[in-house]
Amino acid sequence: MTKRSLSLRNPVFWVHAFFILFSLCFLIPFLLIIAISLTNEEEVLRGGYSLFPFPLDFTAYRVVFQNPEQIIDSYLVTTFQAAFGTIASVFIMSLCAYPLSRQSFRWRGPITFYIFFTMLFGGGLIPSYILITQYLNLGDTVWVYILPSLANAFHIIIFRTFFQGLPYAIIESAKMDGASEWRIYFQMILPLSKPVLATLGLLGVLARWNEWFTALIYIRSESLYTLQYLLQRILLEAEFIRQMASEAPTGIDFGVFTVPTETVRFALAIVAAGPLLVIFPFFQKYFARGLTIGSVKG
């Protein structure tokens, strides 16, 4: 392509201008949250949230790191359910998808329908809630994060489609050599399926890392909160504290004695969500692939 200079006359210049502004819509919100967490509390209460943290103040982070117990608990719970949940789920889903990819499997049709039907119709939230809390007694345990989301019909179908693309001849020859189906699954199918395992595994980790809905519905103990649910409670409860403060009689100086709720809230958001937000974009390619097969079949 011939090199064109970027002049005001060139429409590409305007396209770039548009995208530079457009990308600011996505960057500024993050910078804003970082800036607030680094601002002095009184300054925030006086002048409102600002992109410019003057004067720079690390009090909020000091408060966060002086009381780390809850954050550590939530990090542990989140990491455990994300890691264990994803591994168990990817294992069970791919294990199930392998027979469904085999032409010779006799009950392929009925089983595929049995799984697929759950995508079309469900009992809804209330019957699941009653089942999980009253009959399975999983409410307020760490297992409620893992068991009810162990498999996903759509992901099983993605696995099956991928397995169908594998060369059948090597499976056939392994069978000739007397390999059992389990062995074929572990020693041939899994190693050949790294791309789809990586994609669906990462999607699983992302969804579970961002988990707050299950906690909202089923979890009461603070020691079992996920990070996102902890953040949600903080966002609502710090506000509650502020409401109490503004309703209290005047003449009491809150400036020195109260915890700086506004800035601490944002510092917590950075500490809880920051590390993974830095890591995830590096896997952008896998996510994009996984999320797009999620929307267009095939």
In order, the DSSP letters of 24-46 are: HHHHHHHHHHHHHHTB-HHHHHH
Q: Who's near 280: CB < 8 A, 6+ residues apart?
A: 206, 287
**Closest distance of CB 30 from other proteins, Å:** 8
Among 114, 173, 195, 255, the residue binding other proteins under the rule CB under 8 A is 114
Asked if residues 255 and 244 have their Cβ atoms less than 8 Å apart, the reply is no
Stretch of residues binding other proteins (CB under 8 A), selected from 72-80, 192-200, 251-259, 273-281: 273-281
Span interacting with other proteins, options 60-68, 105-113, 165-173, 193-201, rule CB under 8 A: 105-113
Of 127, 165, 195, 275, the one binding other proteins (CB under 8 A) is: 127
Asked if residue 109 binds other proteins (CB under 8 A), the reply is no
- Nearer to other proteins (CB atom), residue 14 or residue 65: 14
- Kindly indicate which of the ranges 23-31, 57-65, 79-87, 192-200 contains the residues binding other proteins, using the contact rule CB under 8 A: 23-31
How far is residue 224's CA from residue 215's CA, in Å, rounded to a whole number? 8
Place of tokens 């990491």: 79
220 binds other proteins (CB under 8 A): no
Cα angle for residues 237, 242, 244 (degrees, 5° grid): 95
Bond from prior residue into 110 cis (ω within 30 degrees of 0): no
Site residues for other proteins, 140-169, by CB under 8 A, read 147-148, 150-151, 153, 156
Q: To the nearest whole angstrom, how small is the minimum distance from the Cβ of residue 252 to other proteins?
A: 19
Q: How far apart (Å, rounded) are the C-alpha atoms in residues 218 and 237?
A: 19
- How far apart CA 170 and CA 116 sit, in angstroms, is 28
By CB under 8 A, residue 13 contacts other proteins: no
Binder to other proteins among 8, 9, 26, 253 (CB under 8 A)?
26
